[in-house]
Amino acid sequence: MNFWTQTFVAEKLQISQRAYSHYENGTREVPLDVLIKLSYLYNVSSDYLLGLTDNPIPYKPN
């Protein structure tokens, strides 16, 4: 399994590593635009990232 560093993910999200660290640690709320980018980056649904479902499979657009 490959693991991405905070720096790598932050670069993909076009934010600082420090900002991403705050999101991971729960010291800052994740903005909606970042949540959407994370769901695309990890290829999972935003509901999965938010803990609202155990199903990581993203929804298919209509």
- 27-57 pLDDT, tens digit per residue, is 999 999 999 999 999 999 999 999 999 998 8
Q: pLDDT class for 1, splitting at 50, 70, 90?
A: low
DSSP code of residue 51:
T
Q: Where are the chain's structural domains?
A: 6-49
Interval 3-30: pLDDT, tens: 899 999 999 999 999 999 999 999 999 9
Specify the pLDDT at position 36.
95
Between residues 58 and 38, the one the model is more confident about: 38
Which amino acid makes up residue 10?
Answer: A
Where is 21: in which H helix or E strand? helix 17-25
Res 14: pLDDT: 96
